Amino acid sequence: MGMTMTQKILAAHAGLESVVAGQLIEANLDLVLGNDITSPVAIKEMQKMKVDGVFDKDKIALVPDHFVPNKDIKSAEHCKCVREFAYRNEITNYFEVGQMGIEHALLPEKGLTVAGDVIIGADSHTCTYGALGAFSTGVGSTDMAAGMATGKAWFKVPSAIKFVLTGKPAKWVSGKDIILHIIGMIGVDGALYKSMEFVGDGIQYLSMDDRLTIANMAIEAGGKNGIFPVDDLAITYMKEHSTKQYTVYEADEDAVYDEEYVIDLSKLRPTVAFPHLPENTKVIDEVGDIAIDQVVIGSCTNGRLDDLRIAAQILDGKKVKKGIRCIIIPATQNIYMQAMEEGLLKIFIEAGAVVSTPTCGPCLGGYMGILAEGEKCVSTTNRNFVGRMGHVNSEIYLASPAVAAASAITGKITDPKNV
């Protein structure tokens, strides 16, 4: 019986010739990730385990990004805990303010995630790195603690769903629209504990930023991970960013998939997820007249350079509608710098938007854009659950940077082609 791409990576890291869906394995880890919310819990668990040090100071990444720069005393204490642990254990990849960024944008940029890796992170959107052909998945803080101590983790080998992407997306249709379409099609539990494996000739038209966005939101369909084939674009990206060796795995021709979906990208339209689930999708033509109060362009889903370029292309020479708050958050310091050098930040500020230092910020109801009762926000983030971005009676509409930028100009959810 053939193996999927994910199954081949897991078999190799478990020292096995082959694995099958449902099999329990112990796999060696290439990277263990934590942030300022989840790491303190893991650090306390390690203290309970009475572990002396970490398994490999080069294979742990600690990225304070959720409430950083610190928004209050509690967040400052969390970061202090992470900082002291990092210094005590000489963690190579600890990123303090000034070097930090949103973790899932920062690690690929730093070359810490490459094809063939097995990566766990105490953050659900760790599945992002599948865009580069890695097996990466979110875990709890206790599993993170065990991973930092031993360099190993237990997995149940996931079964898989194949998504065959064909055709070329139209203008203003991005990776965000593709993954929202898929989640709307299969539901938030449609890929529960399954590997979402993306293939097809349509992938050639997707930038690395598109792929990172799609893999990032695999968890919103319940997926254990999302993964893309390693093509020339992915290899070029890794050669530019990484000093690590990468390994290319390909699915067997007779690999077994639970389901297969064929998606013609040329037929997709900009897509919006209505409150309060990512599966509650409508194409832009079905949205209707929905006035908004705020726009957020950023997060580990859509705070990358392509996202900012698209937003700037729409906002250039225009103004954010009076009464609308438009918050733009570059995902890393490097992205911030590039956006500044390209003149994107000037476009945003002249349009009437504000630009934040890299942070998760409002995505999880942290800070830098919390919603009051009754307010509506168009956001490029990944979740629109009840109370996710503030008051339980606020509403979040998930969309692409193009739709978000267009909506900031008109004050209502808007098709980018209409501004």
pLDDT at 113 (0 to 100): 97
Report if residue 145 sits inside a domain: yes
223 shares its domain with 281: no
Residues 158 and 302 in one domain: no
Whole-number CA gyration radius for the chain:
20
> Which residues span the domain enclosing 125?
5-263
- Flag whether 419 is in a domain: no
- Is residue 408 in a domain? yes
Whether 286 and 193 map to the same domain: the answer is no
Q: Are residues 291 and 227 in the same domain?
A: no
Phi (first) and psi of residue 201, to 5 degrees: -70, -20
Q: What is the pTM of this model?
A: 0.95
Same domain, 165 and 281: no
pLDDT of residue 61: 97
Report the candidate in 28, 89, 96, 97 with the shortest Cα–Cα distance to residue 58.
89
Domain with residue 247: its CATH number is: 3.30.499.10
Identify the pLDDT of residue 243: 81
HEC secondary structure over 173-191: CCHHHHHHHHHHHHCCCCC
Residues 181 and 94 in one domain: yes
Total of domains in the chain: 2
Q: Amino acid identity, residue 155?
A: F
CA distance 396 to 389: 7
Q: What is the pLDDT of residue 188?
A: 94
On whether both 321 and 245 belong to a single domain, the answer is no
- Choosing from 228, 263, 298, the residue where a domain stops is 263
| Residue 90 domain-assigned (yes or no) | yes
pLDDT given at position 1: 80
160 and 85 belong to one structural domain = yes
Same domain for 353 and 331, yes or no, is yes
In a domain, 347, yes or no: yes
Give the Cα separation of 73 and 65 in Å (integer): 15
**Which pLDDT score is estimated for 45?**
94
- Together in a domain, 239 and 355: no
In the structure encoding, which two tokens stand for residue 307, read together? 């996202």
Nearest CA-CA partner of 64 in 36, 93, 38, 87: 36
Sign of the dihedral defined by the CA atoms of residues 72, 74, 75, 77, in that order = positive
- What integer pLDDT is reported at residue 148 of this predicted model? 97
For residues 378-399, b (16+ Cβ closer than 10 Å) or e, as one string?
bbbbbbbeeebbbeeebbbbbb
Choose one of 240, 263, 286: the last residue of a domain: 263
| Distance (Å, whole) CA 179 – CA 358 | 24
Residue 284 sits in the same domain as residue 253: no
Show contacts of 82-88: CB within 8 Å, 24+ apart: 82/34, 82/36, 82/39, 82/40, 82/43, 85/39, 85/43, 86/62
What integer pLDDT is reported at residue 167 of this predicted model?
97
Cα torsion through 211, 172, 307, 194, rounded to 10: -30
pLDDT at 51 (0 to 100): 85
pLDDT, block means (10 residues), the chain with 419 residues: 95 97 97 96 93 93 94 95 96 94 96 97 97 97 96 97 97 97 96 97 97 98 97 96 93 96 98 96 95 97 97 98 97 97 98 96 92 98 94 97 98 95
Place of tokens 């009464």: 323
What gap in Å lies between CA 402 and CA 406, rounded to an integer?
6
Same domain for 305 and 238, yes or no, is no
What confidence score (pLDDT) does residue 157 get? 98
**Closest C-alpha among 290, 278, 301, 282 to residue 400:** 301
Domain end point (choices 263, 290, 306): 263
